[in-house]
């Protein structure tokens, strides 16, 4: 058995074409694999983005509720005018108390005078009773 290797133009051309087809298939498959990986990464990124967006919307809702609660508390909080009204009432009460203090002092003086008079009357009655 003899094998003959006659290389002519057509044989070389067929060899080059086969080599080119193999190289093209290899490059094409790499490109397809890269495309498939890219699609998988895009799908993963899309699902992660969706999850993050849902979390952000949930937190945004919580912040909205907190802000609403703070706004309601601020609306219902004591205002400067309310404090001024309370201060005016306290000032009025203090004025009345100081007047009452003066009146009580006068009444205490009068009661002291009455007690002094009662002591004198009692002493006088005891002095007259001892003469009888």
Q: Are 13 and 55 part of one and the same domain?
A: yes
Please report the pLDDT score of residue 2 as a whole number.
63
* pLDDT one-digit tens code per residue, 10-38: 778 888 899 888 888 887 777 676 777 77
Please report the pLDDT score of residue 22 as a whole number.
87
| Whether pTM exceeds 0.75 | no
Residue 79 and residue 123: Cα distance in Å, rounded? 65
* pLDDT one-digit tens code per residue, 50-106: 999 999 999 999 999 999 999 999 888 888 898 999 999 999 999 988 888 888 888
Of 30, 47, 77, at which residue does a domain stop? 77
Establish if 62 belongs to a structural domain.
Answer: yes
Q: Is the dihedral of CA 90, 93, 99, 104 positive or negative?
A: negative
Q: Are 42 and 89 part of one and the same domain?
A: no
Q: Are 57 and 102 part of one and the same domain?
A: no
Q: Are 86 and 68 part of one and the same domain?
A: no
Q: Are 24 and 71 part of one and the same domain?
A: yes
Residue 132 and residue 124: Cα distance in Å, rounded? 13
Query: 97 or 7: whose pLDDT is higher?
Result: 97
* Residues 45-75: b if buried by 16+ CB within 10 A, e if exposed: eeeeeeeeeeeeeeeeeeeeeeeeeeeeeee
Query: 86 or 2: whose pLDDT is higher?
Result: 86
Establish if 119 belongs to a structural domain.
Answer: yes
Establish if 4 belongs to a structural domain.
Answer: no
Full residue range of the structural domain in which residue 93 is found: 80-132
Q: Are 23 and 59 part of one and the same domain?
A: yes
């Amino acid at each position: 058995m003899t094998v003959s290797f006659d290389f002519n133009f057509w044989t070389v051309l067929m060899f080059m074409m086969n080599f080119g087809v193999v190289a093209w298939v290899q490059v094409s498959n790499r490109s397809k694999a890269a495309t498939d990986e890219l699609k998988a990464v895009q799908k993963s990124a899309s699902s992660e983005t969706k999850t993050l967006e849902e979390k952000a919307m949930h937190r945004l809702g919580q912040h909205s509720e907190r802000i609403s609660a703070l706004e309601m508390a601020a609306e219902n909080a004591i205002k400067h005018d309310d404090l001024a009204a309370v201060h005016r009432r306290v000032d009025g009460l203090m004025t009345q108390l100081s007047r009452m203090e003066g009146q009580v002092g006068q009444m205490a003086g009068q009661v002291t005078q009455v007690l002094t008079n009662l002591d004198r009357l009692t002493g006088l009655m005891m002095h007259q009773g001892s003469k009888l």
